Structure 1
Amino acid sequence: MNLAFHKLASTGAQFYMLGPNIQAIKGLDKYEIHFIPSEYSTVAVDVASYNLPSQGDDRPNKLIEICQSLHTPTLVYCQGPTSAMKVSRLLMRECMVERLADCEGAADWIAESYHPDWIVAEALRHGVGIHHGGVPRALQQNMVRMFNDGLLPIMVCTSTLIEGVNTIAENVIVYDRRRNNKVLDFFTYRNIQGRAGRMGKYFVGNVFLLEKPPEDAEVSVEYPIGMQDADTPLTLVMQLDDDALTDESRVRLADALERNFLSAATVVKNGSVEPAVQDNLAREMFAIMQQDPSVFSWRSNPSQPQLIAACRMIVRHLWSVRTKGLGVVSPEHLAWHVRALGSPDGIKGYLTQVTEGLEDKEAISQKVDEAMKIVRNILVFKFPQDLMVLSSIQAELSQRLEISNGDFGYFAEMVENMYSPALLIALEEYGLPLPIGRKIQGYLSPFYELNDVLDQLRNFDVETATELSPFERSLVTAIQNSV
């Protein structure tokens, strides 16, 4: 985001940026800016704060009491997917006991296309939507569409819904005062509060805070490129042109590049990784390649030992504590997930393998949630990026050792796109779930340009696709009307 802003601001173009609840901006002294703070809001908000303890039955009981008294669209904020799952089960048991006919089609389709014991499908049958980072983007969009259309009375969500998604809700219940495991800061809390009410629909929003809210604080946005110091990450500094660097940053960068085992060109190319990390990674890879040149010389698809070797370098050098906390416990485990994602049955086949041997429904659902987070955060995002870091490093080291170099680009792209055409994955951003996309890909190919595929999707006659269920036809039609 900082680099994108830097590039845009460097053109001299005039533009404006919007953000809620911001009182100051720091680091833009070199630009001519006009900062206009405003407390204006299109709706009023009534806030009820209960200051309940985080442990015990007080919060669950108050949540039930509030939800039983409400009859208009309600968002329930939870700190993460695990909390969202517990809250959804509580609501199904105490408040949303009856099944809703309007939600049956969507729930049946999710159960069939992903996993029958996933709580996302079970909750949807009872009119409870679930929106968090592990839910595929297209399903998130459909949840929001159903909520805004009045088909879902309650949406249990995490920060993925709170930040930047338009919803029509009169009520917001803040069940947790945390985001993941950290206490909510004032900025995030105000963002959550701002989801209550909607201009033209609900002019007064209701916010229910079950725990003590954070203290009021001034919110300022800092632009680190304009505030470079000894703590500015080198991953940011490396990606700036020389004229944008301070003298201190030039010295820091020159020192890091001069001492590195790799050339400056390779280090800068892998700009998202700290130079010191690249240095350690390159030294270990070089020692391995001296003993066995074939380990990192593969192209196209790696053998299992080659994949595990790559995963070992990724886990050991490129993963943070946060990444390691997502459920992948070893290089071998990462390699297993990478292979399993390529199941001929797609995401359904992958989830079937992940949950094999489990019998308890709650345990299965929790495993599915965990797997969906692994897919989104690791398999289609971090793993391909990290693999390309390895690819560029081994290319330089192979040249030094005068051996054949590998090229991991094809395999990285395959995993990133879940072993499907790239433009089919792009359609997820437009609301088309991958399981449906795979069914109708014959009607949308060839996959050359996104605009061409979108045109084919708009003109696609859903009635001719006998392989689609009534729900799938209705969903494709809704997407056609929005793209």
Structure 2
Amino acid sequence: MTDIFEECSAINDLLQANEKIEARNRLIFLLDVIGKTEQAYNTLLNHLIRESGLYPYLDPETSSWQDRFVYESFKVDIGQNEPVTLHSEQSLVLKHLLDGDNLALSAPTSFGKSLIIDAYIAIKRPKNVLILVPTIALTDETRRRLSKKFSAEYKIVTTSEVALGENNILIFPQERAIHYYDKFEQLDLLVVDEFYKASSAFDKERSPALLKAMLKLGEKAAQKYYLAPNIADLNDNPFTKGMTFLRMDFNTVFLEKHEEYKDINKDVQKKNDALIRILGKHKTKSLIYAGSYAGVDSVTTLLIDNTNKEDSQLLSDFSAWLATNYHPNWKLTNLVKRGVGIHTGQLHRSLSQIQVRLFEEEKDGLQTLVSTSSIIEGVNTSAENVIVWSNKKAHLKLDDFTYRNIIGRGGRMFRHFVGKIYILEEPPSPSDTQLELTFPDELLADVDDEKYKQQLSDKQLAKLLQYKEEMTQIIGQESFERLRNEGALISSDTEFIRTIALAIKNDQKFVRALANLHAPSSEYCAWTLSQKILKLVPGGWDVGYAKFAEFVRVLSSNWSLSVPELLDQLSAHDITIDEFFKLERNATFKLTALLNDINVIQKEIAPDQKMDISSYIAKLSRAFLPSCTMALEEYGLPRMLAKKIHASGLINFEDEDLDLHTAIDRLHTLRLEILEKVEGLIAFDRYVLDYFYDGITLQQSRAVGKQ
């Protein structure tokens, strides 16, 4: 048993020797021991907590008056009924922001970077705040947090084409944010969460869009706050110019590492046995990082074969719900009975949210989540146990930055002082991450060569000038300048835009073929997609042109048919449920963006043909679901529940004038009637509705009604 006084003495010696990190780690470990044995804090322990800067952990009831004074002094308003105490480094960051500084902050996952945003809004009351987040899932999580605190005073906006209110908090992934560039004169605060993703080294596919948003929106921002974990240094670049870089290694939990890989020694059977043993030993929540979709499949197969079903009515109801609404033979349908969920970036948004909610349940919920890197990119959840099953990210070796981000999900303030990290494959060598933000070639179409010529290489300048010359020849100088100034094109890749323009210019039948898109369920529509449009994309996003086109054609029945019925129609093309999610995501994001640029360019090249496919693009962007149904899915209301509510006659989702915030207001007003009158609601439907309603507070509904 730990001798508390002796351990306190050792911690004090470390503090006196300025070994603050080691002292803090030992102190957190001691707090874990004391918590598990339900012992009271004494005055000495509270004093060490204060000296370590961990002010939220102070117990004011057993503190000296000096330590109690510190606990009260570091309390701030974060928009809740009661103020909360910040730790010393949080308070320092908040002071910088309140002083008007532009900050690029690197701090551990457990630091509490988001709490500082809440405190800033509560204290400064800015008029317009825009928060860029990396994923849709994080959009909803952030919205739920801020809605509970600020929806009475702010309009919370998370989707495109929403009218702004007098005061606004906008929360978007980067692809949506740029559409609001012209909708406000000034931003009081621009927040970029996980801004390391602006580097192609960490997210090659999406970094150009984030850089574009940072560049454009940064011009309108009075103040900027960029957040990321585990960055050692930041290069001099135009995207963070004039910002103060703060690196803080202040942790609020302790990570206890178990290097299982040394005994496993790359033996697959030993690794399998170790995983089952670790999960069997603990009855606490576990996150399993599986590295790739293939890794998720391997781990989940192993768990189905080697774990027992949970005695949980809630999980049994969830399994039945999945069988009805997705597929009875889907692996997830079987997994959840065993207390295991799957978190990847391709699942329906509401389905990922529901699983995270079940994972957060203290009792009867999911005990384990098996994940790709989506768990560190798409949601702020954590667990007592993190199991690193794979040392790869997709097909590449895991880098130290991502590895530290993964294990940073272990532990949580006030719940798990100690996060247990089980490493089943050899981790990457420790290294400091130097974040390099540079202009990629894919951003050249949006770059003013005069303004940024110092940041561009000679090769990039030559490429940009050639692009301008060629596009001027194809569509004319006036059109080219106007499109660039308006930011009408979603893609910023000069080569891709040139490819689109030349295809339209050189193929006289191209524009006429676009008319087929107005009959989305027809074979002619599929032909246009496969033979004219998808061929512009090298590789067709890793799926055959004809197969993808046929998927989009069948998807056009998304509102009238259930997911199982759609899968039945797609079975002839060997499209599984897992592939369904991937293809729907590609259709609603990538194909929509491509069609937008085609539509914009063809209007300049062939204005006499008066072709406009914007209505088809709008339908495709919401997966052919009506009105605001797709947006409500981001709020946690699955399409199958929206269909039941629509069938009841309580809300007409097919009303084209029904916008998202009006729908939310009606859903809130009709809550009791929906629960009583909608036919066919099963037990888990009601659980999902409770989760959805938890995210649309009464204050938000009233605020929307006013604005």
TM tier relative to shorter chain:
0.7 to 0.9
1:465 aligns with 2:678: yes
Supply the AA of the counterpart residue of 2:243.
I
Q: Is the 8 A contact 2:547 2:573 kept in 1?
A: no
Distance 1:76 1:304, change over 3 A: same
Supply the AA of the counterpart residue of 2:620.
V
Tell me which residue corresponds to 1:335. Answer: 549
Tell me which residue corresponds to 1:131. Answer: 343
Instruction: Please state whether the residue corresponding to 2:341 is helix, strand or coil.
Output: strand
Deviating 4+ runs (over 6 angstroms): none
1:197 aligns with 2:411: yes
Tell me which residue corresponds to 1:276. Answer: 495
Q: Is the 8 A contact 2:445 2:494 kept in 1?
A: no
1:440 aligns with 2:645: yes
Instruction: Please state whether the residue corresponding to 1:72 is helix, strand or coil.
Output: coil
- Aligned-pair CA distance for 1:98: 4.6
2:303 and 2:420 map into 1 onto residues whose CA distance is 19
Tell me which residue corresponds to 1:238. Answer: 445
Q: Is the 8 A contact 2:411 2:417 kept in 1?
A: yes
Q: Is the 8 A contact 1:141 1:431 kept in 2?
A: yes
1:353 aligns with 2:569: yes
- Aligned-pair CA distance for 1:24: 1.3
Supply the AA of the counterpart residue of 2:578.
D
2:496 and 2:285 map into 1 onto residues whose CA distance is 48
Distance 1:5 1:390, change over 3 A: closer
2:662 to 449, 452, 474: 452
Q: Is the 8 A contact 1:289 1:296 kept in 2?
A: no
Unaligned runs of 5+ in 1: 359-363
- Aligned-pair CA distance for 1:117: 1.0
1:425 and 1:102 map into 2 onto residues whose CA distance is 26
Task: Output aligned runs, 1:201-280, within 5 Å.
Answer: 201-224=415-438, 228=439, 232-233=440-441, 235-241=442-448, 244-246=451-453, 248=456, 252-260=463-471, 262-263=474-475, 265=479, 268=484, 269-272=488-491, 274-280=493-499
- Aligned-pair CA distance for 1:84: 1.2
- Aligned-pair CA distance for 1:298: 4.8
Q: Is the 8 A contact 2:513 2:528 kept in 1?
A: yes
Between 1:11-20 and 1:39-48, the stretch displaced more is 11-20
- Structure of higher RCO (CA pairs closer than 8 Å, 6+ residues apart): 1
1:81 aligns with 2:297: no
1:406 aligns with 2:611: yes
Q: Is the 8 A contact 2:517 2:525 kept in 1?
A: no
Tell me which residue corresponds to 2:232. Answer: 23
Task: Output aligned runs, 1:54-65, within 5 Å.
Answer: 56-65=268-277
Q: Is the 8 A contact 2:548 2:583 kept in 1?
A: no
Q: Deviations over 1:96-140 (max 9, x none)?
A: 345532201111111101111111111111211111122211111
- Aligned-pair CA distance for 1:262: 2.8
2:314 and 2:686 map into 1 onto residues whose CA distance is 15
Supply the AA of the counterpart residue of 2:587.
L
Q: Deviations over 1:308-337 (max 9, x none)?
A: 233333332224x5x633xx21x2212210
Q: Is the 8 A contact 1:196 1:206 kept in 2?
A: yes
Tell me which residue corresponds to 1:361. Answer: none
Tell me which residue corresponds to 2:512. Answer: 294
Q: Is the 8 A contact 1:296 1:405 kept in 2?
A: no
Supply the AA of the counterpart residue of 1:409.
S
**TM-score, scaled relative to structure 1:** 0.87
Supply the AA of the counterpart residue of 1:369.
D
1:213 and 1:201 map into 2 onto residues whose CA distance is 27
Supply the AA of the counterpart residue of 1:212.
E
1:202 and 1:257 map into 2 onto residues whose CA distance is 57
Instruction: Please state whether the residue corresponding to 2:227 is helix, strand or coil.
Output: coil
- Aligned-pair CA distance for 1:164: 4.9
Q: Deviations over 1:423-461 (max 9, x none)?
A: 110111111111112221343445533222112222222
Q: Flag the structure with larger Rg.
A: 2
Q: Is the 8 A contact 1:311 1:332 kept in 2?
A: yes
2:536 to 317, 340, 353: 317
1:48 aligns with 2:234: no
Instruction: Please state whether the residue corresponding to 1:198 is helix, strand or coil.
Output: coil
Q: Is the 8 A contact 1:142 1:431 kept in 2?
A: yes
Between 1:266-275 and 1:174-183, the stretch displaced more is 266-275
Distance 1:9 1:278, change over 3 A: closer
Distance 1:104 1:236, change over 3 A: same
Distance 1:135 1:168, change over 3 A: same
2:526 and 2:490 map into 1 onto residues whose CA distance is 23
Supply the AA of the counterpart residue of 2:633.
E
Q: Is the 8 A contact 1:96 1:128 kept in 2?
A: no
Q: Deviations over 1:351-398 (max 9, x none)?
A: 22233598xxxxx9xx2112211112x121111111222223332332
1:181 aligns with 2:395: yes
**TM-score, scaled relative to structure 2:** 0.61
2:658 and 2:406 map into 1 onto residues whose CA distance is 40
Q: Is the 8 A contact 1:173 1:207 kept in 2?
A: yes
- Aligned-pair CA distance for 1:59: 1.8
Q: Deviations over 1:144-186 (max 9, x none)?
A: 1111113111111111112252224100001111111111111
Distance 1:81 1:115, change over 3 A: same
1:421 and 1:26 map into 2 onto residues whose CA distance is 46
Q: Is the 8 A contact 2:400 2:429 kept in 1?
A: yes
Task: Output aligned runs, 1:160-171, within 5 Å.
Answer: 160-171=374-385
Tell me which residue corresponds to 2:13. Answer: none
Q: Is the 8 A contact 2:384 2:416 kept in 1?
A: yes
The alignment covers a number of residue pairs equal to 459
Supply the AA of the counterpart residue of 2:223.
Q
Tell me which residue corresponds to 2:137. Answer: none
Q: Percent identity among equivalent residues?
A: 28
- Aligned-pair CA distance for 1:414: 1.4
Q: Is the 8 A contact 1:237 1:253 kept in 2?
A: yes
Tell me which residue corresponds to 2:581. Answer: 372
Q: Is the 8 A contact 2:443 2:492 kept in 1?
A: no
- Aligned-pair CA distance for 1:482: 2.0
Supply the AA of the counterpart residue of 2:325.
S
Tell me which residue corresponds to 2:53. Answer: none
Instruction: Please state whether the residue corresponding to 1:45 is helix, strand or coil.
Output: strand
Tell me which residue corresponds to 2:168. Answer: none
1:428 and 1:297 map into 2 onto residues whose CA distance is 30
Distance 1:414 1:193, change over 3 A: same
Distance 1:434 1:27, change over 3 A: farther
Distance 1:368 1:307, change over 3 A: closer
- Aligned-pair CA distance for 1:72: 0.7
2:211 and 2:432 map into 1 onto residues whose CA distance is 21
Instruction: Please state whether the residue corresponding to 1:36 is helix, strand or coil.
Output: strand
Instruction: Please state whether the residue corresponding to 1:18 is helix, strand or coil.
Output: strand
Supply the AA of the counterpart residue of 2:347.
V
1:32 aligns with 2:242: yes
Supply the AA of the counterpart residue of 1:470.
A
- Aligned-pair CA distance for 1:306: 4.8
Supply the AA of the counterpart residue of 1:382.
K
Between 1:181-190 and 1:12-21, the stretch displaced more is 12-21
2:573 and 2:529 map into 1 onto residues whose CA distance is 29
1:469 and 1:61 map into 2 onto residues whose CA distance is 38
Between 1:248-257 and 1:80-89, the stretch displaced more is 248-257
Tell me which residue corresponds to 1:429. Answer: 634
Supply the AA of the counterpart residue of 2:453.
T
- Aligned-pair CA distance for 1:143: 0.5
1:164 and 1:132 map into 2 onto residues whose CA distance is 9
